[in-house]
Amino acid sequence: MTTTLANRAPARSSGVGSRLSQSVFDALYRTSLLYNACWEDPACDRQALHLTANDRVLVITSGGCNALDYALCGPAHVHAVDANPRQNALLDLKIAGIRSLEHDDFFRIFGDGWHPDFRQLYRSRIRAELPDGARAFWDRHQHWFNGRGWRDSFYFHGLSGLVARLLRSYFQVRPRLRRALDQLVDCTDLATQRALYDHEVAPRLWSKHVQWAISRQTTMSLLGVPPSQTREVAMQHHGGDLPMSAQATAQGVAGFIRGAIDYVFRELPIWTNYFWTLYIRGHYTRNCCPEYLTVAGFAALKSGLVDRVTSHTNTITGFLQESRGQAAISRFVLLDHMDWMASHRPDDLGEEWDEILARAAPETMILFRSARAQVDWLDGVPVKIPNDGTSTLGKVLTYDRPLADRLHKQDRVGTYGGFHIAHLAKGVR
């Protein structure tokens, strides 16, 4: 029997508290930069995508880091799409910086997170390279990069940056924890890293105050996690789909996050993990940073690859509709967007997939992450097959679960319940 979206979709709640939490999240999303960096590991994506010069990629922009990472693989084009114009403004600033600056200045801005001469560089070199919307945004927010050191880092701005700043302030009043974390991020040996985490970091990190803070929906909203996805995370840790009390949800979220961080810091090398070390240090280092910040990555982008990246402020559906008639897209990277759509726009989910299928090239691949390890709730979504009537996603998509499971274990972020690699079934295109 085909599973329907209605009875397996990510949880929705109509309670007053839930509606209030969602209203807060929506207000934050409409007015703020949520992500100052991407929190999806492009090293996993690269192994799945196998990008070639014939590929055209659509990726949700987020912090823009991964759009630039994909460009380094030399695809024909990368379309970075986000409904939040502030996320595209960040990517546009990076693109403008690559075009107009040398690596040292660029790294000080986006690696260190600040530059003492940012205002002068912005006015004299970067600003003219920006599109109008991004220029207007950065005219108002130059101070985010014009600090006096890592304590004023750009990576402590925006909503996710606010959480990072609060956590770092907490670490500062816990000097033994602060010293242990400093030692941890300097590890170059996994056995030493694991022992240091187990004996010095974890016992001091997981206080009642920290577990309470990370279980709050306010904290999750600042990190860009809507209430519906918080409930999904809690249910995955809880081990079922039964309705959960607010207390059980909070405990489930705290448990899931602790489990994820325990795994990342015990099982994966910290010296390559620029996601977590960024917020512990407040900056990247030359040896631990995204590829676009390395000397080689920057040079390759500056030599012409950056011109293959374009930002679009739009929904996925809107962008695909407005760009009909253009070249087909062979790679879609949808982050955890499916969770959000199923919870908040279930009636629009099928329309989005209709547009994806209409623009998809032969042998298209779709990557997405989810709070759920399995996404069988998508199977019943009705879709239109180009020139071939209607069907459901369960019949249109096939999943490479062994590869996805292997890559999920390598993911240096570690905070998603599942990583999913979908291909179009034969005969769809």
> pLDDT band at residue 16, thresholds of 50, 70 and 90?
very low
The pLDDT tens digits of the residues spanning 128-186 come to 999 999 999 999 999 999 977 767 899 999 998 988 888 888 888 999 999 999 999 99
Please compute Rg for the chain using Cα positions.
Answer: 21
Give the pLDDT confidence score for residue 246 in this predicted structure: 55
Positive or negative torsion for Cα 133, 313, 67, 218: positive
Is 266's pLDDT higher than 70? yes
> pLDDT band at residue 112, thresholds of 50, 70 and 90?
very high
> pLDDT band at residue 374, thresholds of 50, 70 and 90?
confident
The arithmetic mean of pLDDT across residues 282-293, rounded, is: 97
The percent of residues in the chain predicted with pLDDT above 90, rounded, is 66
> pLDDT band at residue 286, thresholds of 50, 70 and 90?
very high
Q: Which of 223, 272, 315, 296 is nearest to 412 (CA)?
A: 272
The arithmetic mean of pLDDT across residues 260-280, rounded, is: 96
CA atoms within 13 A on the CB side of 253: 27
6-20, 224-238, 249-263: range with lowest mean pLDDT? 6-20
Is 118's pLDDT higher than 90? yes
Residue 17 has phi, psi (to 5 degrees) of -60, -40
pTM over 0.75: yes
Is 77's pLDDT higher than 90? yes
Is 72's pLDDT higher than 70? yes
Pick the residue with more confidence: 6 or 255? 255
Give the pLDDT confidence score for residue 167 in this predicted structure: 86
> pLDDT band at residue 10, thresholds of 50, 70 and 90?
low
Give the pLDDT confidence score for residue 3 in this predicted structure: 32
User: 194: burial class by Cβ within 10 Å (0-12, 13-18, 19+)?
Assistant: middle
The arithmetic mean of pLDDT across residues 89-93, rounded, is: 98
Give the pLDDT confidence score for residue 151 in this predicted structure: 73
Is 321's pLDDT higher than 90? yes
> pLDDT band at residue 26, thresholds of 50, 70 and 90?
low
> pLDDT band at residue 20, thresholds of 50, 70 and 90?
very low
> pLDDT band at residue 196, thresholds of 50, 70 and 90?
very high
CB proximity list for 306: less than 8 A, separation 6 or greater:
68, 71, 95, 98, 99
Residue 73, SS3?
A: coil
Positive or negative torsion for Cα 333, 339, 340, 341: positive
Give the pLDDT confidence score for residue 234 in this predicted structure: 58
Q: What is the mean pLDDT of the chain?
A: 87
The arithmetic mean of pLDDT across residues 253-261, rounded, is: 84
The arithmetic mean of pLDDT across residues 338-361, rounded, is: 89
Pick the residue with more confidence: 48 or 338? 48
The region that residue 396 occupies, defined by phi over 0 for left and psi between -120 and 50 for alpha, beta otherwise, is: alpha
Domain ranges of the chain: 1-31+316-429, 175-278
